[in-house]
């Protein structure tokens, strides 16, 4: 296949291809539809995707197995005044799921107990001891959010102790399911076709659907005959945050969740989120990128290197002063997390480089902080373009691992298969991320298994590697109006990539190294129109060196994403450069 602009090998060594066809989008009036079509939207489905609204994408919650069973049990508990417990995971998806259920139940007159396990002392997921403790504190029903799909022993112990458990999860399920009053998970093997179509939802999305089902059940019982029904739509800010932070694919319902959730967040109704935005020094309404890179990491910092319940406490706080105190602590913990992460990342990347291009880069080290291994796995994945698993070895020889995958590779299913083969003490996850517990001495057998299982998939995925372009512009087309047109097809994130634009031909002016190894310059077309560009952390790369050494008369095609340069209050458009090729 001939490359876009006849480029079969760019400066970074890859071909350029049009994302949807052999022709680029032409004109602002068709650009939005072209972007949607290139991301898998059917032509006859374009109208609802141009402005994604919840009502246009929300499924009937009853399509999910056990959804109605769980909703009825919670409705019974609310009406009878029973004590409900919320057991959540310690990451952002778990924190937002727990916060959503807590706030909704409070609006219904309940006062739930919230329990978030300590990452280091208790590990992932519910334990029998913790669930039995909740029973002893008066809970008759517990809702496990973002965990529980693999908690066989814990749920059996809870059931034996008289605690009814409703599981709301999205992680891969085994062929057998743990005992529970209800197990709501779109990735159940026996899920309905309509339910399984929503397997890309984060746990917070499933918690929102349970909330919808709960309100519907209470409505059918006449519970709101003499009072207002709580507005669950007000909690979409939490759904947006958890969805983006968990790297859930932003298609269909998830895209509607994030689009509408950002609008709710901009109104600053949630006291804790408003305080967190202030702590993160966000001066404008948060964007999708802010959720993933500013707010999410700070919520995560509590579970990674601090107190695991700080995130839920912040998100459910109604006291502005308390919220400011917690947000400040999370901001401090995030800085501490960054320092720890840098040290572990350096050591892990050195190991990964020695694995000689293995299909899956599995590395392990003693003394590595378990709270940062997921982030480090993501760094290694980005640097080497392969799935990565980072394992922190404990004093007893067992290892706690976290993995991140690349497009087209279901890492969660592979880890679950390793567990079922007896190579892991625990393990599971979803397509793009997984967690595991490795027995002493189990690194090499697990490494051989995961490499053998995923080798062909990784080879195929990397073989298909190309820089995908959405549109071609003359240098003068890189302008603010283009940013507005591109934003209309957002929000962008996992599974819904930001548009990549090619611009040129252009000569490079004023190229220089700025900041921490970034290369910046101006691209000028033959007609004298120009735009600014920056290639982040590229000074020592082939791309950066080619740009810096370009002769004044050499003409280039440049490719990247178009952003507004808001530094020091500016508003001009610039290209975040990813690749270049001679014109």
Give this prediction's pTM: 0.88
pLDDT at 129: 94
CATH number at residue 288: 3.90.1640.30
CA distance linking residue 186 with residue 171, whole number of Å: 9
The answer for residues whose C-beta is within 8 angstroms of residue 291's C-beta and 6 or more apart is 240, 241, 244, 245, 258, 262
Domain closes at, from 282, 298, 332: 332
CA–CA distances in Å: residue 480 to residues 112, 289, 332, 363, 492 = 48, 19, 36, 44, 18
568 within domain boundaries: yes
Query: Whole-angstrom Cα distance, residue 508 to residue 532?
Result: 10
Beta strand extents in 179-296 (DSSP E only) = 182-184
Q: What is the CATH number of the domain that holds 515?
A: 2.40.50.140
* Same domain flag for 196 and 108: yes
Q: Which of 463, 486, 514 is the last residue of a domain?
A: 463
Final residue of a domain: which of 433, 463, 493? 463
Residues 80, 43, single domain; the answer is no
| Token pair belonging to 240 | 């947006």
Does the residue 349 lie in any domain? no
Same domain, 81 and 177: yes
Angle, in degrees to the nearest 10, between helices 411-420 and 443-463: 150
Query: Which residue ranges of the chain lie beneath pLDDT 70?
Result: 1-2, 21-29, 566-571
Judge whether 52 lies within some domain.
no
Exposure b/e, 85-101, CB count within 10 A at least 16 = b: bbbbbbbbbbbbbbbbb
344, part of any domain? no
Instruction: Give the residue among 276, 251, 137, 142 at the shortest CA–CA distance from 197.
Output: 251
pLDDT of res. 26: 53
Instruction: Quote the CA–CA distance of 400 and 368 in Å, as a whole number.
Output: 10
Residues 41 and 67 in one domain: no
> Residue 26 — φ and ψ, nearest 5°?
-125, 115
Model confidence over 75-114: pLDDT tens digits?
999 999 999 999 999 899 999 999 999 999 999 999 999 9
CB 12 within 8 A of CB 542: yes
Same domain, 66 and 123: yes
In-domain check, residue 340 = no
CB count within 10 Å of CB 329 equals 18
In a domain, 480, yes or no: yes
Residue 491: cis peptide before it, omega within 30 degrees of 0 = yes
What pLDDT was estimated at residue 568?
A: 52
What is the structure's pLDDT at 27? 53
Domain count, the chain: 3
Is the same domain home to 377 and 525? no
Q: Is residue 327 part of a domain?
A: yes
- The phi and psi torsions of 208 (rounded to 5 degrees) equal -60, -45
Q: Are residues 178 and 78 in the same domain?
A: yes
Q: How remote is the C-alpha of 543 from its chain's centroid?
A: 28
- Which element (helix H / strand E) includes 352? helix 320-353
Domain that residue 33 falls in:
4-47+470-582
Examine the domain organization and report whether 456 and 480 are in the same domain. no
Specify whether 406 is located in the same domain as 485.
no
Whether the Cβ atoms of residue 372 and residue 466 lie closer than 8 Å to each other:
no
Q: What is the pLDDT of residue 570?
A: 52
Residues 248 and 360 in one domain: no
CATH number of the CATH domain containing 457? 3.10.310.30
Q: How far apart are CA 174 and CA 188, in angstroms?
A: 8
Same domain for 367 and 314: no
53 falls within a domain: no
- Looking at the structure, tell me whether residues 453 and 483 fall in a common domain: no
């Amino acid at each position: 296949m001939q490359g876009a602009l006849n480029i079969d090998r760019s400066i970074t060594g890859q071909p350029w291809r049009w994302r949807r066809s052999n022709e680029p989008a032409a004109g602002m009036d068709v650009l939005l539809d072209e972007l949607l079509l290139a991301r898998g939207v059917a032509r006859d489905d374009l109208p609802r995707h141009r402005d994604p609204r919840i009502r246009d994408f929300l499924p009937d919650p009853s399509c999910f197995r056990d959804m109605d069973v769980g909703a009825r049990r919670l409705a019974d508990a609310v009406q009878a005044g029973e004590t409900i417990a919320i057991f959540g995971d310690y990451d952002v998806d778990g924190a937002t799921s727990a916060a959503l259920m807590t706030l909704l139940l409070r609006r219904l007159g309940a006062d739930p107990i919230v329990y978030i396990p300590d990452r280091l002392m208790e590990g992932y997921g519910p334990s029998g001891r913790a669930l039995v403790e909740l029973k002893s504190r008066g809970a008759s029903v517990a809702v496990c959010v973002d965990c529980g799909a693999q908690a066989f022993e814990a749920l059996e112990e809870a059931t034996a102790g008289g605690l009814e458990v409703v599981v709301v999860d999205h992680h891969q399920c085994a062929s057998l399911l743990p005992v529970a009053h209800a197990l709501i998970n779109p990735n159940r093997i026996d899920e309905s076709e309509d339910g399984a179509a929503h397997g890309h939802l984060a746990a917070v999305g499933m918690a929102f659907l349970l909330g919808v089902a709960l309100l519907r059940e209470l409505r059918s019982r006449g519970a709101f005959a003499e009072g207002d029904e709580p507005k669950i739509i007000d909690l979409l800010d939490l759904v947006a945050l958890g969805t983006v932070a968990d790297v859930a694919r932003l298609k269909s319902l998830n895209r509607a969740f994030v689009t509408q959730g950002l609008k709710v967040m901009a109104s600053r109704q949630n006291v804790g989120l408003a305080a967190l935005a202030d702590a993160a020094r966000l001066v404008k309404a948060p964007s999708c990128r802010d959720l993933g890179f500013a707010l999410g990491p700070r919520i995560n910092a509590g579970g990674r290197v601090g107190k695991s319940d700080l995130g839920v406490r912040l998100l459910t706080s109604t006291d502005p002063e308390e919220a400011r105190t917690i947000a400040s602590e999370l901001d401090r913990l995030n800085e501490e997390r960054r320092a720890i992460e840098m040290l572990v990342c350096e050591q892990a990347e050195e190991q990964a480089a020695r694995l000689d291009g293995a299909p899956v880069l599995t590395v392990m080290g003693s003394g590595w902080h378990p709270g940062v291994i997921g982030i480090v796995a993501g760094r290694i994945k980005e640097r080497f373009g392969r799935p990565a698993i980072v394992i922190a070895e404990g004093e007893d020889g067992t290892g706690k691992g976290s993995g991140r995958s690349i497009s087209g590779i279901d890492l969660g299913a592979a880890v679950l298969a390793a567990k079922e083969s007896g190579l892991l003490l625990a393990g599971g996850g979803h397509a793009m991320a997984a967690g595991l517990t490795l027995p002493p001495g189990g690194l090499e057998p697990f490494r051989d298994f995961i490499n053998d299982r995923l080798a062909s998939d990784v080879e195929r995925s990397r073989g298909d590697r190309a820089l995908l372009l959405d549109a071609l512009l003359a240098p003068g087309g890189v302008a603010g109006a283009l940013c507005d047109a591109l934003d209309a097809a957002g929000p962008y994130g996992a599974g819904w990539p930001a548009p990549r634009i090619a611009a040129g031909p252009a000569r490079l002016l004023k190229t220089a190294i700025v900041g921490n190894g970034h290369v910046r310059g101006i691209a000028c077309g033959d007609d004298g129109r120009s735009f600014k560009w920056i290639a982040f952390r590229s000074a020592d790369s082939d791309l950066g060196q080619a740009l810096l050494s370009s002769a004044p008369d050499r003409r280039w095609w440049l490719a990247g994403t178009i952003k507004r340069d808001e530094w020091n209050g500016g508003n001009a458009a610039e290209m975040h450069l990813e690749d270049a090729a001679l014109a």
